[in-house]
Structure 1
Amino acid sequence: MSTVVLPGSFDPFTLGHLDLTRRAAALGHHVIIAVSHNPAKKGTLDLEARLGAITAVLAEAGLAEQVEARTLPRGLLVDFCRDVGAGAVVRGLRSQLDLAYEEPMARMNHHLAGVETLFLLTDATWSHISSSLVREVHALGGDVSDMIPAPSLDALHAAAAVS
């Protein structure tokens, strides 16, 4: 079984993220969900809350043996891939805009370390969902329960209660 890394901020982990995880695992891969802190994004959930929610989602989905969640340390993604023995990164594409954003990074990762990028087209059911939109809708009092797994929703509610 080969190891692949699914990187992202996952703030929060959505049903689209879960779908990508399931699909990568179904291809026979050991999947490491690499949770990062992106200083360019205004986050809602801290790293521990995101990791806890993702771990709970994986357990509920029966994926805990084939998929794990880890913190992505600062530095290059390809260095993390090397450290965990991953030869590929998995990225979901919702639209051509995502491809335009992801392509240069995929080429750089390959140039730097020979790490391939596996692009999976997002299932149309989830293609309109992004973590940032989920955060915005939730912050304005909207119902996001059909866009994120229950542990992610619990984490959002807990973060809102603290704010």
Structure 2
Amino acid sequence: MSRAVCPGSFDPVTNGHLDIIGRTSRLFDEVVVAVGVNASKNRMFTSDERLEMLEEACGRFDNVRVAGFTGLVTDFCTEHDVQAIVKGLRAATDFDYEMPMAQMNAALTDVQTVFLPTATGTSFVSSSLVKEVAALGGDVSAFVPSFVLEALRARLADR
């Protein structure tokens, strides 16, 4: 059985993330969306909230499950018998950032990294940009699932 992991912070999950996850689900028998839990990073949503949002967002994919992890993604891959890490690339800068990590991951374990180009319509979308635009009152409804939009608006209203 081929198994891949799509790791990230997903703060919040965007339609760009879901595009990569969906396409990965067609390439591998099983996909694990691994939500990084890093206490030192300041996130808008808690780990549990991000896991819940991803479980709802990924519910339409039969071969996708969601799990949290701490530490190295390669350790997660070893523990879950994962053969590939799948990363979406929006631009050349993403490649420059991701390539050294892919090489380090390959040096640490047999897990290979697969790069998927993002869909044209989501190539500019990032969680950070979605949060920034939403915080300034912009409409981000085209870039996140509706339930994520509601959570985002509620969180910003609390601030």
TM-score by length of 1: 0.92
Amino acid at match of 1:160: L
Q: Which residue of 2 aligns with 1:18?
A: 18
Residue 69 (structure 1) aligned to one of 66, 71, 93:
66
Question: Is the contact made by 1:4 and 1:89 (CA closer than 8 Å) also made in structure 2?
Answer: yes
Amino acid at match of 1:85: D
1:87 aligns with 2:83: yes
Amino acid at match of 2:112: E
Question: Is the contact made by 1:49 and 1:155 (CA closer than 8 Å) also made in structure 2?
Answer: no
* Aligned alpha-carbon RMSD (Å): 1.4
Structure-2 separation of matches of 1:147 and 1:23 = 17
Question: Is the contact made by 1:50 and 1:155 (CA closer than 8 Å) also made in structure 2?
Answer: no
1:140 aligns with 2:128: no
Question: Is the contact made by 2:3 and 2:28 (CA closer than 8 Å) also made in structure 1?
Answer: no
Structure-2 separation of matches of 1:76 and 1:19 = 24
Range with greater deviation from structure 2 (84-93 or 145-154): 145-154
1:113 aligns with 2:109: yes
Residue 160 (structure 1) aligned to one of 152, 156, 159:
156
Q: Give CA deviations for 1:98-149 in whole Å, capped at 9, x if unaligned.
A: 0000000000000001110010011111001000000001111111110011
Q: Give CA deviations for 1:69-119 in whole Å, capped at 9, x if unaligned.
A: 11112x211010000110110000011100000000000000001110010
Q: Which residue of 2 aligns with 1:9?
A: 9
SS in 1 for 2:108: helix
Q: Which residue of 2 aligns with 1:36?
A: 36
Q: Which residue of 2 aligns with 1:27?
A: 27
Gaps of 5+ in 1: none
SS in 1 for 2:98: helix
Q: Aligned pairs, how many?
A: 159
Gaps of 5+ in 2: none
